[in-house]
């Protein structure tokens, strides 16, 4: 399947007029371009297939460019390809033909139906009516996954060179019914830092504190500590920090209709204020070796 003829059809970098802050914002799951040839492969209708989207997250974080940071966003949907996975986390039961020996077929994400080419959308709904040719999965990795990550690496490297350190914020949304294990708490935001391995603790704590001071409930790492992107790009010892941020969808969309709630613009404004305050914190502590590599 070759529905995107140009790289710009697949994803987009929104650049600021001037890069002023050491951040890169990334929205890998907000893509909502579902071409007809992809929909013909699925057993799901055009509404159900959207259940795994991070709905409108690219719009919620759009003001990143006003602050002076780039925003990378996907146009392709997560149901088609998930770039927050290893490149070859693939389920052999989904494909006709043999996967290459280097494919990771035993990961927990593959077992859960959420590999690089997902088997399921949310609520355990199977995507495909039939098995796909294995060549198609490999072609999606070559044509979509690898260029996306190459672009993300360039943005991070540019930031690191300009400022001496860099902070990737990987932007996501979560279902409104997500609870903290062992409690009835439904957080508004979850900040993930791979349990302290992908970002300096001061940065994670600052993000939580800012959100709480703004009146939101925010927790760290549970149940979402960050996926492949956070783990792969976060190298605090080198001055490269990666945070994952999850926002509760119930704050800004109707989770049945998937339409924006009246509160959408207020939530987007609050996220803009959060990004600004986090950048101010980083500016104040830029000389601290907890953030900038020695």
DSSP assignment of 137-166 equals HHHHIIIIIHHHHHHHHHHHHHHHHHHSSE
Is the pLDDT at 94 greater than 70, yes or no? yes
pTM over 0.85: yes
Alpha-carbon gap, residue 227 to 145, rounded angstroms = 15
Lowest mean pLDDT among 26-40, 137-151, 178-192, 198-212: 178-192
Instruction: Establish whether the linkage from the previous residue to 50 is cis, with ω within 30° of 0.
Output: no
pLDDT at 123: 75
141-145: Cβ within 8 A, 24+ apart:
141/81, 141/87, 141/88, 141/116, 143/2, 143/4, 143/10, 144/4, 144/10, 144/76, 144/80, 144/81, 144/83, 145/81, 145/83, 145/87, 145/116
| Mean pLDDT value across residues 269-285 | 95
Per the CB < 8 A criterion, the answer to whether 281 and 199 are in contact is no
Place of tokens 């959060």: 274
116: confidence class by pLDDT, cuts 50, 70, 90: very high
Is the pLDDT at 96 greater than 90, yes or no? yes
Q: Give the angle subtended at the CA of 265 by the CAs of 260 and 269, to the nearest 5°.
A: 140
| Mean pLDDT value across residues 254-259 | 96
Instruction: Indicate the domain borders of the chain.
Output: 165-252
Give helix 264-284 / helix 201-213 axis angle, nearest 10°.
Answer: 140
| Mean pLDDT value across residues 109-129 | 94
| Mean pLDDT value across residues 244-273 | 98
Per the CB < 8 A criterion, the answer to whether 165 and 288 are in contact is no
pLDDT at 180: 79
């Amino acid at each position: 399947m070759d529905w995107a003829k140009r790289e710009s059809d697949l994803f987009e970098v929104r650049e600021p007029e001037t890069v002023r802050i050491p951040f890169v914002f990334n929205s890998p799951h907000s893509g909502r371009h579902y071409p007809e040839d992809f929909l013909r492969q699925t057993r799901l209708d055009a509404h159900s297939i959207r259940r795994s989207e991070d709905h409108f997250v690219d719009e919620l974080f759009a003001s990143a460019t006003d602050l002076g940071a780039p925003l990378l966003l996907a146009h392709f949907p997560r149901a088609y390809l998930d770039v927050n996975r290893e490149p070859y986390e693939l389920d052999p039961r989904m494909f006709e033909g043999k996967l290459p020996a280097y494919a990771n077929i035993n990961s927990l994400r593959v077992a859960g139906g959420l590999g690089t080419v997902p088997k399921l959308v949310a609520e355990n709904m199977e995507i495909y009516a039939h098995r796909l040719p294995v060549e198609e999965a490999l072609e999606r990795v070559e044509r979509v996954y690898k260029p996306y990550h190459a672009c993300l690496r360039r943005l991070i490297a540019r930031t690191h060179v300009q400022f001496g350190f860099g902070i990737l914020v990987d932007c996501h949304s979560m279902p409104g019914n997500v609870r903290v294990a062992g409690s009835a708490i439904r957080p508004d935001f979850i900040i993930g830092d791979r349990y302290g391995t992908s970002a300096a603790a001061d940065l994670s704590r600052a993000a939580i504190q800012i959100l709480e001071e703004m009146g939101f409930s925010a927790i760290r790492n549970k149940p979402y500590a960050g996926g492949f992107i956070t783990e792969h790009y976060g190298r605090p010892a080198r001055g490269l920090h990666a945070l994952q941020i999850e926002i509760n969808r119930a704050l800004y969309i109707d989770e049945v209709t998937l339409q924006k709630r009246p509160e959408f613009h207020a939530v987007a404004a609050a996220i803009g204020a959060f990004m600004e305050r986090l950048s101010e914190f980083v500016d104040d502590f830029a000389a601290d070796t907890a953030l900038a590599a020695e």
